[in-house]
């Protein structure tokens, strides 16, 4: 009676956490789709499980007037294999995180200070956006285009959580205009005129 049940459980996938407490990433070794190899237990210290950089404001003196301070596995190796990560978002007045996606994770944004207009677009092109205030939380499902804008009169700060230690990032504006994709192809695929495309390439560092 119990043998079929045991057999079924033997076929189920289990993470490393089912057989060991943790797998602190050894950043000296190359990563792979499953993450970094585990650091030898004798070399693990409490500092592998502590990260302090999110208490420091990011530098928002840039084009988008925003800064993201990541606590991903590359900065915080204790996250390796645990399926989560964090980041701090600082938005100066008029700061914006342009349309972007995280191909590897869903996101939860928690507003600590200020007012943020945030939203996402579904794969059916339905738009969901809202003005968020201190204490509000918003979810952005994995892979969907989303944005954050400081819609208040002072600085805005948020903490972001991801469902992966390495969520990935692609900013739409930079994907289109911040590389060497030929101008004529951008014109044909975006319906913008050539002058607009060249202007945006100039602003975002693109060529071609």
Residue ranges of the annotated binding site for oxalate are: 102, 107
Distance CA 201, CA 196 (A): 9
Annotation: binding site for Mn(2+):
100, 102, 107, 146
DSSP classification of residue 172: H
Rg of the chain over CA atoms, in angstroms? 21
Distance CA 174, CA 25 (A): 30
What tokens appear for 114 in the block?
Answer: 């200020």
Q: Which residues, 6 or more positions from 183, have their beta carbon under 8 angstroms from its beta carbon?
A: 194, 197, 198, 201, 208
Annotation: binding site:
100, 102, 107, 146
Element (H, E) at 80: none
What tokens appear for 107 in the block?
Answer: 């996101």
Distance CA 148, CA 131 (A): 10
User: Please, how many CA atoms are within 13 Å of residue 33, restricted to the half-sphere of its CB?
Assistant: 0
- Given CA atoms 21, 26, 29, 33 in this order, what sign does their dihedral have? positive
What tokens appear for 62 in the block?
Answer: 């840039």
């Amino acid at each position: 009676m119990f043998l079929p049940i045991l057999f079924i459980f033997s076929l189920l996938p289990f993470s490393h956490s089912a057989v060991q407490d943790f797998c602190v990433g050894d950043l000296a070794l190359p990563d792979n789709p499953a993450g970094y190899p585990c650091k030898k237990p004798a070399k693990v210290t409490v500092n592998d499980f502590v990260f302090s950089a999110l208490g420091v404001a990011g530098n928002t003196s840039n084009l988008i007037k925003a800064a993201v301070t990541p606590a991903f596995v590359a900065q915080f190796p204790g996250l390796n294999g645990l399926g989560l990560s964090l980041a701090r978002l600082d938005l100066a007045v008029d700061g914006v995180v342009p349309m972007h996606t995280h191909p590897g994770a869903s996101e939860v944004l928690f507003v600590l200070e200020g007012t943020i207009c945030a939203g996402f677009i579904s794969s059916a092109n339905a738009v969901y956006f809202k003005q968020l205030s201190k204490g509000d939380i918003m979810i952005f499902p994995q892979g969907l285009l989303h944005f954050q804008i400081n819609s208040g009169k002072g600085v805005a700060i948020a903490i972001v959580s991801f469902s992966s230690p390495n969520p990935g990032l692609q900013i739409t504006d930079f994907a289109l205009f911040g590389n060497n994709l030929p101008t004529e192809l951008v014109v044909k695929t975006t319906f913008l005129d050539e002058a607009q495309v060249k202007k945006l390439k100039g602003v975002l560092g693109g060529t071609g």
